[in-house]
Structure 1
Amino acid sequence: MLPPPVVLHVPDAAFLHEEHFPGAPCVPGSCLMEAVRKAALQSFGRPVICMAQARFRRFVPPGSVCRLIWKLPPSAGPSPDTEGMPGCRRVGWQLAAALPEEDASGGRLAEGEVWLAPDSGEDICG
Structure 2
Amino acid sequence: MTTTFTADQENELINHVLDFEIRMYGLTAIDLRRLAFQLAERNNIPHKFSRLKQIAGYDWLEGFKNRHPEIALRAPEATSAARAMGFNKQVVTKFYDLLKSILVKHTFTPHRCFNVWVLINK
TM-score w.r.t. length of structure 2: 0.30
TM-score w.r.t. length of structure 1: 0.29
Richer in helix (by share): 2
Richer in strand (by share): 1
Larger RCO, structure (CA 8 Å, separation 6 or more): 1
- Larger of the two Rg values belongs to structure: 2
